[in-house]
Chain A
Amino acid sequence: MSEVLVVVEATREFGVKKVTCEMLTLARELGTPSAVVLGGAGAADALSAKLGEYGAEKIYAAEGEQIDGYLVAPKATVVADLVKRVQPAAVLLASSQEGKEIAARLAVKLDNGILTDVVALAADGTATQVAFAGSTIVTSKVTRGLPLVTVRPNSVTPAPAAATPAVEQLTVTVSDTDKLAKVVDRVAEQKGSRPELTEAGVVVAGGRGVGNADNFKLVEELADLLGGAVGASRAAVDSGFYPHQFQVGQTGKTVSPQLYVALGISGAIQHRAGMQTSKTIVAVNKDGEAPIFELADFGVVGDLFKVVPQAAEEIRKRK
């Protein structure tokens, strides 16, 4: 079977992101998965055990300052060279900002079609996408070149399949044009023990009804009890209750967790755009007419400042 390249997403501390395991699982359906590690020195060694656990038969690695010190252009050059050499059956990247950006450059370099936000991919290259705020299901195909696909997190259930990958360090020649956008600093913010928003199995989100930034502690508390990530509606972010990187909706993140808990969120169409493919949705809102209840599998009409603390207490009791 031919190779399927999976461009690895990892944290800066060399933790394999869940979406990478999902992509490797998907790649096994299409061919033989090879992981492509693009990052700081030592990345491949640090990541190889986990990549092998999910079935990577091979690891291609390009590491060091000339990969890591610039925005995506050098990474795209490395992957394009690799694609030309190994002629894979498909290239999978995460539907993250960086994944989409590498894919964008690959599409131009290889004069190849591109499909983003893919939730399923058949062996013949037919992809399923969810469009227009989750309202439309689209099946599509790359008609020029190989399937170049970015995969939306939480679309595939990751399943381990042990392999022992050999690591091949790639010789990297990065042109000056690829070094035009230089990363001069990286600043960590809001780092905590919570899972990343787009990857989390549970998301607890607060909206305008949360009232102020301080009250978001209530949202965080419930998220922590459920082992979830914290999200916020645009109204909450615009009001300064919570930082923008946690915004769910049309102009923020799209999430598709097992459980989405909407607290004080009315459910405007722009918010629904970011969350309505969640498996189970529950909502607490004092307005019984709020559109969020049209989506919710279970809804509580009531004051979230009474309902949420009681729910938190009940969860503690049951633990």
Chain B
Amino acid sequence: MNIVVLVKQVPDSGADRNLRSDDNTVDRGSANNVINEMDEYAIEEALKIKEAHGGEVTILTMGPDRATESIRKALSMGPDKAVHVVDDALHGSCAVATSKVLAAALGQLNADLVLCGSESTDGRVQVMPHMLAERLGVAALTGARKLTVDGGTLTVERQTEEGYEVVTATTPAIVSVWDTINEPRYPSFKGIMAAKKKPVQTLSLADLGVAADEVGLAGATSVVVEHSKRPPRSGGAKVTDEGSGGVQLVEFLATEKFV
């Protein structure tokens, strides 16, 4: 099975993150940039499917030059190769334009299965799998907590508010996964060394046949008008329990009319 995994480099969600003051885009220059955590689960799932059914795993990333670090990190887990869509004109692309670019890249990769994380930790927009499915005319099975591959038939368990749904489709298809689906492997030393030699193909917008004015800030379908830091919450009263902590807590809740 030919599997493509979408990997995004994002600012570390465990640290302070900002928007740039000049063009209101995500400040990636000053951030510690890492693989979107959710994508590691998609990579692991791809490797498990390859181990069980054979095939090839390709990482697909759209991002600036520095995303190369995340691509190598992804490859160190075990995928065979990577494709990096990189072009200065992409800076500031909205989700709609991003889906246009990724769909064009996927169009060249002939994937049976596209895997991705359910959301990126920077935007948390959750729209990419269905945008891509809409453009490519393939099924999107989103929010999988379990994925079964049987020949060309895919079955996922999809978490819902009320329980779960069992959803099926045939390949080619896009599946997004939650972090409950598996436990991603750590790259081995051998994997890290091997990753340095794995092929990484770069594609420009011209290679994909997408015009520069369809993407980036110029082609954005939405715009950030302004942004500001939310005033940090300040801690209120803190008491140490000396036998009446529970009562004190309820007294506070009563003054706030919760009890």
Across-interface contacts of A177 in B (CB, < 8 A):
137
Cβ–Cβ contact B166 & A184, under 8 A: yes
A108 interface contact, C-beta 8 A: yes
Closest to A312 in B: B246
Pick from B163, B165, B224: contact of A138, CB below 8 A.
B224
Cβ–Cβ contact B222 & A115, under 8 A: yes
Instruction: Give the docked Cα–Cα distance between A250 and B233 (Å).
Output: 18
- Whole-angstrom distance from the CB of A219 to the nearest CB of chain B? 14
Provide the A284-319 mask, 1 if CB < 8 A to any CB of B, else 0.
100010000111111111110011111111110010
Cβ–Cβ contact A270 & B166, under 8 A: no
A158 interface contact, C-beta 8 A: no
Across-interface contacts of A311 in B (CB, < 8 A):
245-247, 249-250
Closest to B178 in A: A244
**Given A71-B142, A104-B127, A182-B167, A135-B222 contact (CB < 8 Å):** no
Closest to A280 in B: B256
Cβ–Cβ contact A108 & B164, under 8 A: no
Cβ–Cβ contact A302 & B127, under 8 A: no
A143 interface contact, C-beta 8 A: yes
Q: Give the contact stretch, choosing among B12-20, B51-59, B75-83, B194-202.
A: B12-20
Across-interface contacts of A276 in B (CB, < 8 A):
233
Closest to B143 in A: A97
Size of interface on A: residues with Cβ below 8 Å to B:
96
B226 interface contact, C-beta 8 A: yes
Cβ–Cβ contact B131 & A105, under 8 A: yes
Across-interface contacts of A76 in B (CB, < 8 A):
130, 134
- Whole-angstrom distance from the CB of B101 to the nearest CB of chain A? 13
Pick from A113, A250, A251, A300: contact of B241, CB below 8 A.
A300
Cβ–Cβ contact A318 & B250, under 8 A: yes
A191 interface contact, C-beta 8 A: yes
Cβ–Cβ contact A306 & B139, under 8 A: no
**Given A113-B96, A245-B161, A184-B168 contact (CB < 8 Å):** yes
Q: Give the contact stretch, choosing among B85-93, B107-115, B118-126.
A: B118-126
Closest to B126 in A: A100
Instruction: Give the docked Cα–Cα distance between A300 and B241 (Å).
Output: 6
How many inter-chain residue pairs (CB < 8 Å) link A and B? 285
Instruction: Give the docked Cα–Cα distance between A130 and B224 (Å).
Output: 12
**Given A135-B230, A180-B169, A258-B258, A114-B127 contact (CB < 8 Å):** yes
Instruction: Give the docked Cα–Cα distance between A43 and B208 (Å).
Output: 44
Q: Which of A124-177 contact B (CB under 8 A)?
A: 126, 130-145, 177
Provide the B236-259 mask, 1 if CB < 8 A to any CB of A, else 0.
111111001111111011101011
Cβ–Cβ contact B252 & A191, under 8 A: no
B180 interface contact, C-beta 8 A: yes
**Given A101-B127, A300-B249, A301-B241, A114-B221 contact (CB < 8 Å):** yes
Cβ–Cβ contact B166 & A135, under 8 A: no
Cβ–Cβ contact A189 & B166, under 8 A: no
Excluding A111-B96, A140-B222, A183-B166, 20 further A-B contacts by CB distance (< 8 Å) are A73-B133, A97-B160, A105-B134, A113-B220, A113-B221, A116-B126, A133-B13, A141-B225, A143-B222, A181-B173, A186-B163, A187-B164, A189-B164, A197-B161, A244-B178, A245-B159, A270-B14, A294-B233, A298-B237, A299-B236
26 contacts between A and B (CB under 8 A): A71-B167, A73-B134, A97-B143, A100-B126, A104-B127, A104-B131, A107-B96, A107-B131, A108-B134, A114-B125, A135-B16, A135-B17, A139-B224, A140-B223, A140-B225, A141-B222, A142-B221, A143-B221, A180-B138, A181-B169, A183-B167, A184-B166, A270-B14, A294-B235, A298-B252, A318-B259
Residues of A within 8 A of B (CB): 11-12, 71-73, 76, 96-97, 100-101, 103-105, 107-109, 111-117, 126, 130-145, 177, 180-191, 196-197, 202, 226, 244-245, 250-251, 254, 258-259, 268-270, 273, 276, 280-282, 284, 288, 293-303, 306-315, 318
Residues of B within 8 A of A (CB): 13-19, 37-38, 94-96, 99, 121-131, 133-135, 137-143, 145, 155, 158-170, 173, 178-180, 220-230, 232-241, 244-250, 252-254, 256, 258-259
